[in-house]
Amino acid sequence: MLYTNATIITVNANRDIYLDGAILVTGTTIAAIGRTADLLSAHPSEPTTSLAGRILIPGLISTHMHTAQTLLRGAADDLSLISWLCSRIWVLQGHFTPEDGYAAARLSIAEMLLSGTTCFLESMFADRYGFDGLARAVEESGVRGCLGKIVMDKGKYASGEGWEMHEGLVENEKSLDGAVEMWEKWNGGAEGRIKVWFGARTPGGVSEELYRKMSSISKEKGIPITMHCAEVSADRDFFASQSHTPMSYCDSVGLLGPSTVLVHMVHLDDSDIATLAKTNTHIAHCPTSNAKLASGICRVPDLQKAGVNIGLGTDGAPCNNTCDLLQEMKLAAIIHKAVNFNPTSVPAEDVLEMATINGAKALGLQDSIGSLEVGKKADFVAIDTRRVRMQPWFSPVSAVVYAATGADVDMVVVDGKVLVENGKLTTMDENEVMEEAKRRSKEVVERSGLTQAVQGKWPLL
């Protein structure tokens, strides 16, 4: 298929933008890209689809996501992280079944696809959610998924008193064996769209012995690692109790390196930033989650200056309320301007890179996705500008980062296959996905005994 007449933001090495561009897809890959007139002349017999009035961008890449939590959207608003986890989210998740996990994964994937995310990193999928169901949801939908299987052996958060996990979520050191088992079963599945990762729990939830064992297996087998880190001040307190800074601790147990994505990374010293740069460790920046949970603001400009690669993530729906990475881009571009009193801090171009090529680098997939170039996978998103809220525009990058939301996504292509067309899913029944998720979310809340708690502060009549 030859897609024509679009504005194409390639994010290639030169950052070329075609104002009347075309892209030729052959099988799963990009066979040609350039001006519409040139490609029509060179490929006169190809079937064409006009994308006039659309801006094409590489498929968005979310480097931090909790697919199970989408079933709990809005169930834990306006709480601090520890209360959010211990009294609400962990309790709810501790009552999940594998069928709930599958329904949640399908809801998450549907929302991500409809809002332009073509590849995501699941941070920490617990055994009770049913990993096979998550992998099956990725396989059926056509999305790309890097799937972090939980690794843990301690059922609490950091070292605080009363910060225990719900018993339904606690796993032991055998979780590492379970993660390896899922890697052996699913890595490379769904025609290469599935990658399996270690999804380590936050320091304090994993013993140093298990971290070291996981890190050793990671290097031996090539299994990447993702982990929350330095998200809140309680994390800093834990590291200090071990006579470490966040990164000196992580370095001491072998966690750092180019196959690791650390999430949030709000509370860092200058020495931590230098260590990240030296070890080529990647960061997943989640500004909405950090703002909503009052965790703080990641030192993105300082990390950029040091040369640390930064991707973007939405985190889970209970601390963001959406899986829309386009909305996340806008906040990522604005929040650092406010706290640094500098309107040039973290410009729109930097943020689009975070959500595309930087995310691909973080996932080790930069040779196949993250930019629109010949030979790369045909993963792209068409944003419809033929709407009042999108007009006028002068810079296509500005239009994407500052004006567009997931509601403006018109088409999504992954591996050359159209997964969203005219704003509608082609591989999933949207209504069936929603209805199943609604039913199961209510059942989880009822089993948890939190029906009243999740309904908010005002009376529902």
DSSP letters of 164-221? BPPGGG---THHHHHHHHHHHHHTTHHHHTEEEEEEEPPTTSS-HHHHHHHHHHHHHH
Residue 453 inside a domain? The answer is no
Q: Do the domain assignments include residue 417? A: yes
pLDDT of residue 154: 94
Q: Tell me the per-residue pLDDT of 8-63, one tens digit each, with 9 for 90 and over.
A: 999 999 999 999 999 999 999 999 999 999 999 999 999 999 999 999 999 999 99
Q: What is the CATH number of the domain that holds 128?
A: 3.20.20.140
Do 124 and 52 sit in the same domain of this protein?
no
Residues 257, 150: one domain?
yes
- Given a cut of 80, whether residue 144 has pLDDT beyond it is yes
CA distance linking residue 325 with residue 323, whole number of Å: 6
Q: Are residues 291 and 420 in the same domain?
A: no
HSE, side-chain direction, 13 A CA sphere, residue 332: 28
Helix-strand-coil percent breakdown of the chain, rounded to 5? 45, 20, 35
169 and 43 share a domain?
no
**304 lies in a domain?**
yes
Q: How many CA atoms lie within 13 A of 412 on its CB side?
A: 30
Residue length, the chain?
461
Verify that 93 and 127 share a domain, yes or no.
Answer: yes
Domain that holds residue 69: 60-362
Q: Is residue 440 part of a domain?
A: no
Range list of β-strands (E), 322-373? none
Write down the pLDDT at residue 300: 98
pLDDT one-digit tens code per residue, 102-143: 999 999 999 999 999 999 999 999 999 999 999 999 999 999
- Is pLDDT above 90 for 295? yes
Name the pLDDT band for 81 (thresholds 50, 70, 90): confident
- CATH number for 17: 2.30.40.10
375 in the same domain as 349: no
pLDDT of residue 440: 98
Distance from C-alpha of 84 to C-alpha of 319, rounded to nearest angstrom: 9
Helices 98-114/430-448 angle, 10° precision: 130
Q: Are residues 22 and 153 in the same domain?
A: no
Domain C-terminal end among 330, 345, 362? 362
Q: Measured between alpha carbons, how far is 452 from 109 in angstroms, rounded to an integer?
A: 28
Do 50 and 160 belong together in one domain? Answer: no
In this prediction, residue 159 carries a pLDDT of 72
Same domain, 258 and 380: no
Mean pLDDT score, 162-181: 94
Domain membership of residue 36 (yes or no) is yes
User: What's this model's pTM, rounded to 2 decimal places?
Assistant: 0.98
Q: Residues 452, 205, 211, CA angle at the centre, nearest 5°?
A: 150
> If pLDDT is split at 50, 70 and 90, which confidence band does 224 have?
very high
What stretch of H or E contains 227?
Answer: strand 225-229
- The total number of structural domains in the chain stands at 2
Angle at 148 between CA 163 and CA 184, to 5 degrees: 130
pLDDT of residue 100: 98
Is 443 a member of any domain? no
**Model pLDDT, residue 158:** 80
User: Final residue of a domain: which of 339, 362, 385?
Assistant: 362
Same domain for 358 and 406, yes or no, is no
Query: Of 362, 394, 413, which residue sits at a domain end?
Result: 362
Same domain, 91 and 170: yes
Classify the phi-psi angles of 176: left when phi > 0, otherwise alpha if psi is within -120 to 50, otherwise beta.
alpha
**395 and 247 in one domain?**
no
107 contacts 433 by C-beta, under 8 angstroms: yes
